[in-house]
Structure 1
Amino acid sequence: MDKDTRFAFLVIGLPFLGLIYCLGIVLMFIVSPFAQNHAFITGILSAMIPFSIAASIWIRASAKAYNRHKN
C-alpha cells in the first residue's frame, strides 16, 4: 500500500468507518435490553474500543520510529 492509498483511506474511509461504528452503537442501544439497563458500562466500553485501537496504532508507530532513529 503506497502513501497515496493510505492517505485516501484515512481521509475517505475512516469517517465512514466511524459512522458505521456509531450507527452500530445506536442500534445496539435500541435492540439490546442489557445496553439499555447498563448504559454507563456500555458507553464506557464503546468509547474505549476505538481509543484502545488508536492508542495501540500510535504506540506501534512511535516504537517503530524510535527504533529507526536509534539505529
Structure 2
Amino acid sequence: MKDTKILLLLVIGVPILGLVYCAFMIGFLLLVPWGQNHPIITAAIFVLTPSIVSGSIWLISSARAKK
C-alpha cells in the first residue's frame, strides 16, 4: 500500500470510526436500561475498550518491529 493511501485511511477513517463509536455509546445509553442504571460500569467499559484495543495493536506492532 502506498503511503498516501495509509495516510488517507488514518486522516479520514479514524475520525469516522470515532464518531461511529460515540454514536454507538450514546445509543446504548439511550436504549438499554442496564446502561442507564449502571452508568459508571458502562462508562468504564466504553473508556477501557479503545484503550485496550489500541494498546494491543501497539504492542503487537512493536513486537513485530523488533523481529
Give TM-score scaled by structure 2 length: 0.92
Runs of 5+ in structure 1 lacking a partner? none
Is 1:55 aligned to residue 55 of structure 2? yes
Alpha-carbon separation, structure 2, partners of 1:47 and 1:2: 32
% of aligned pairs identical? 36
Is 1:11 aligned to residue 11 of structure 2? yes
Is 1:41 aligned to residue 41 of structure 2? yes
After superposition, the CA RMSD in angstroms is: 0.9
Alpha-carbon separation, structure 2, partners of 1:5 and 1:60: 22
Alpha-carbon separation, structure 2, partners of 1:54 and 1:12: 18
**Misfit runs of 4+, over 4 Å:** none
Letter in 2 for 1:11: V
Runs of 5+ in structure 2 lacking a partner? none
Alpha-carbon separation, structure 1, partners of 2:50 and 2:12: 17
Q: How many residues align?
A: 67
Alpha-carbon separation, structure 2, partners of 1:17 and 1:56: 18
